[in-house]
Amino acid sequence: MKILNGNSYFEKADVLKIMDNLLCNLFKREFVKKQSSSDILHIQNAIKKFATNIILLLKTEKAVNFEYIETIYTEMMYPADNLLDPVVYNQMNYSDITTDDMKRCENWFFNYGIALLVSEFEK
Listed by start position, the domains of the chain span 2-79+109-122
One DSSP character per residue, 23-77 reads HHHGGGSHHHHTS-HHHHHHHHHHHHHHHHHHHHHTTT-S-EEHHHHHHHHHHHS
pLDDT given at position 2: 85
- Nearest one of 29, 66, 22, 69 to 44, comparing CA atoms: 22
pLDDT given at position 120: 96
3 vs 65: CA distance, rounded Å = 9
pLDDT exceeds 90 at position 7: no
Q: 42-81 pLDDT, tens per residue?
A: 999 999 999 999 999 999 999 999 999 999 999 999 999 9
pLDDT given at position 16: 96
pLDDT given at position 107: 98
- Nearest one of 56, 49, 76, 54 to 65, comparing CA atoms: 54
